[in-house]
Structure 1
Amino acid sequence: MRLWVPLLLGGGLALCLPPSPLGFLAPLPLAGLLFWGGLGFGFWAGVGFWGVHLVWLPLSFVLLFETPWGAVPYLPLVLVKAVLWAGVFGLTRGRPLARAGLWVVQEYLTSLGELAFPWGFLGYALVEAPGRMLAALGGVYLLSLGVLGVALGLLYWGGRLWAEGVLFSRAGLGLVGVLGVWGALWFWPLPQEVGNQTALLVQGNINPLRKLEGFPAEEIYQELTRQGLRAYPEAAVVVWPETAVAHLPPGLALLLGPRELLSGLETGFSNRRVLFKEARIVYQYDKNRLVPFGERFPWDEALRPLYRFFFRALGFEGELVGRTPGQGYAPLGRYGAFICYESVFPSVARALVLQGAEVLVLASNDAWYGPSFGGLQHFQMGRLRAVETGRWLLRAGNDGVTAVVDPYGRVTARLPQRQAGFLGSSFAYRQAQTPYVRLGDWAVGLAGLLGLVGLRRRAKGAIV
């Protein structure tokens, strides 16, 4: 088969994931990817997919650091991801059902270990669809199974209809049924959700490179907070982004009064989130899931010369020091506070809710994505944590996306990206637990079972 076929199918599938609005088209290229090819086909499909899905990486780093060295991490990351696809495709050649099951298992495995990078999950194709509410039952992995199931239906019933050539037949009805299920996911009516509390979210829009040079952000956040509290004096909580300040400004207690403040605090060794109330820190949380090659450096001893060369090429001087990870997940009082990269790990938000969090509060600094679409892609993925846990999500970003998301995944309020400002919006504390919170990633086990059944059915001569 010509090389352009897997590249086109992989790239087409990438264009159906966030931040693209084309998620409703995802089953079309996916059906071809489930049907065709083995190891080599999977590799080139992976190159097409990851090359498009992660193109924000060179776009952001080259412009932010003003050097072509910023594009260096892109190629090895795409190739590693493509090799993983090749493995799945090679094991499941001619076995669409097995490929669908192992696809989801692979998604889950990429969220584990030292090099965890859980990007590109198929379930995120539904993030703009009301059908995302299925995530409350089985998380993003259940959504991935749903998208794959529709693609399998198109493949099976579409193939039978093509072979029979009779529109009004069992195959035709089966195809209409599959399309009906997919359409229902996009037009599923959702109930209204009204908050009874007010949150004030602050967006400083500070260049991260200036922060590294010692630029003081405290005055900016204090002034924006002062303006915001004049506009929303009823606010119960104020939320600042990740690493917003190096220390809490003096006089802040008088400014806040009885309100609570959740702020990102730079400590030098930990990426910390604190809950500040009545002139003192009452809770703190250190980020557990650190960004590989950014906040921590795998195989530091062996690769230190390479790390040093690359970071100096980007303009960083001094000794290379990683951050210290936290030692577990615990809410800050009623607030399930988590930080930036942790938003793409379903297990993090789930753990916080299991520990009693009544609202999710995410702090992020997506200014590192520069003008690319990476920050928006990051937001859309993290948005699904609200659905999985049945909690309101308050998200404060340094340059965006700063937004409030309700437990049904709807964005109820949002600030424009890349401008300083504040956002006041309603939310509510909730205590009920979703099936996903109680049962966890059971959909991954189901996917593994489907993979085994698919491999067994091939031995008996079945295709799907």
Structure 2
Amino acid sequence: MRPFLLGLALALTLPPFPLGFLAPLPLAFLLRGGFREGFLAGVGFWGLHLLWLPQSFASLFGPLGALPFLPLVLVKALSFGLLFALTPSPLMRVGGWVVLEWLTEQGELAFPWGFLGYALVEAPGRVLASLGGVYFLSLLVLLAAYGLARRHLWALLPWALLWFLPLPKVAGTQKALLVQGNLNPLWDPQGELDESVYLRLTGEGLAQKGADLIVWPETAVWRIPPSVDALLQGRPLLTGLNLFGPNRAVLYQGGGILAHYDKTRLVPFGERFPFREVLGGAYGFFFRAFGLGELADRTPGKRVAPLGPYGVFICYESAFPSVALALAREGAKVLVLLTNDAWYGPSFGGRQHFAMGRLRAVETGLWLLRAGNDGVTASVDPFGRVVAAIPPHQEGFLLAPYALKEGKTPYVRLGDWAVALALTIFLLGLILRVRLPGWRNR
């Protein structure tokens, strides 16, 4: 029971909960223990951290929508159990935990949720993500916990400083009109409602003047409305298109599509269905139960690249540090996220998703413009501060400040060096454990 409660406590230190400053406390106790302790802690942690899944899916699809929750929690808890079994000393666990986080960003079943570094999203110290990304922040959280576990209370001083660092002011020199349609995530089959809502809100927003860019959310419309040119008057429009194949974002200006980007990181079991040749029968059962027909896999994009100066990425991709990193390396001067978080329904999932994505601005040193179907629609500065936002779950628009920025942060230049450092710490702990018996429990 104790490991389970510690897992619950750890989940309360990550978004959307406001207890990030306490993260080292439960972690200090979770640096010891084997498979059983890790599995039970994982059940508590993932059960609370992913509680949005049954809440949102049940509200959309009925009671059967909650079914995927239990197997997902058990699989993630199993990963904690294996981590604990393979890291018998606290120092090994510090390094191994960050390596495990990095591994969850890789492969066909990538699901990069629950990173410890997100405990610092509300701390000014999140600015250190510009040095080594969210993985560096995770390592800092774990090192603070390690110091606490070793009763080196002085280790809490640098941790406390992360919550009081002064951040410089930064001003946006341009304005973007971000439009929030607040439409049903199951969409309008004819697309007519979608078009009328976005055209109306765009017209209302442009009447206030000052916008040099218009942004609509993910899958906002099925096509570029023919009447949009009269509204844009030469301004660029970034919007998601709801196509049958790729999940596409386009840059439209001057009466034509100048460039497009197809989402590369598709949601497993949502936009693509892994191991379909083996699990086809199970997929068919759920498709029929949810009244979705026979869903086909979306077509993934081939590469990550900006649309002009705009580093556009789509929904789920904001949880992947590697996507924003690639956009910055390819020359993006501002990040633009098109998302449809209405799938989260009444749960806290949308706020959690937003909090995670804020770190992409810090890592890259770029402004982040976020247009969501039902929120969160906001502007985030390069230090991760939310400088403008509109209430979720209602239609509206936001004249959002931003700026086009040159230059690259150390994280953009060097990448995930913090993961290599974590692996080194793991190996150091292993060597010390094998060669120096006095280090077995350190």
Matching of residue 56 in structure 1 with residue 52 in structure 2: yes
CA contact (8 A) 2:109 2:268 kept: yes
Matched, 1:141 2:138: no
- Code of the residue aligned with 2:56 in structure 1: it is S
Aligned partner of 1:27 in structure 2 is 24
Cα distance in structure 1, aligned partners of 2:48 and 2:350 = 15
Picking from 164, 175, 184, the partner of 2:161 is 184
Gaps of 5+ in 2: none
Task: Indicate which of 106, 119, 133 corresponds to 1:112.
Answer: 106
Per the alignment, residue 86 of structure 2 pairs with 91
Determine which of 66, 74, 82 is the counterpart of 1:79. 74
Q: Which amino acid aligns with 2:29?
A: G
Amino acid at match of 2:171: V
Distance 2:390 2:288 in 1: 35
Could you list the per-position Cα deviations for residues 202-240 of structure 1 after superposition, in whole angstroms to 9, with x for gaps in the alignment?
Answer: 000001124357563001000000000011x12110010
Correspondence for 1:453? 428
Asked if the contact 2:369/2:400 (under 8 Å) is kept, the reply is no
User: Amino acid of the residue matched to residue 71 of structure 2?
Assistant: P
TM-score (norm 1): 0.93
Which of 124, 129, 132 aligns to 1:130? It is 124
Residue identity opposite 2:55 in structure 1: L
The residue aligned with 2:3 is 6
Superposition deviation, residue 377 in structure 1: 0.3
Q: 2:196 aligned to 197, 202, 219, which one?
A: 219
Q: Offset of 1:258 from its aligned partner?
A: 2.2
Amino acid at match of 1:138: G
Name the count of aligned residue pairs: 439
Matches within 5 A, 1:25-424: 25-35=22-32, 37-65=33-61, 67-93=62-88, 95-157=89-151, 174-175=152-153, 177-211=154-188, 216-231=193-208, 233-317=209-293, 319-424=294-399
Question: Aligned letter for 1:30?
Answer: L
What is the alpha-carbon root mean square deviation over aligned residues?
A: 1.0
CA displacement, residues 390-413 of structure 1 (integer Å, 9 cap, x when unaligned): 000000000001000000000000
Separation in 2, partners of 1:213, 1:339: 23
Secondary structure class of the residue paired with 1:216? helix
Give the 3-state SS of the residue equivalent to 2:31 in structure 1. helix
How many Å separate the matches in 1 of 2:210 and 2:59? 41
C-alpha contact (below 8 Å) 1:216/1:245 kept by paired residues: no
Q: Which amino acid is 2:19 matched to?
A: L
Cα shift readout 1:113-171 (whole Å, capped 9, x = no counterpart): 000000000000000000001100000000000000100111112xxxxxxxxxxxxxx
CA 1:255–1:243 in 2, change beyond 3 Å: closer, same or farther? same
Superposed displacement of residue 249, structure 1:
1.0
Deviation at 1:268, TM superposition (A): 1.0
CA contact (8 A) 2:191 2:221 kept: no
Amino acid in structure 1 at the alignment position of 2:179: V
Shift of 1:266: 1.3
Q: How far 1:455 sits from its partner (Å)?
A: 1.6
CA distance in 2, matches of 1:77, 1:301: 20
| In structure 1, distance between residues paired with 2:28 and 2:155 | 13
Residue-by-residue CA offset, 1:385-439 (whole Å, 9 max, x unaligned): 0000000000000000100000000000011110000000211000110000000
Seen in structure 2, the aligned counterparts of structure 1 residues 457 and 220 have a Cα distance that, compared at 3 Å, is same
Counterpart code for 2:379: V
Secondary structure in 2 aligned to 1:211?
Answer: coil
> TM-score under structure 2 normalisation?
0.98
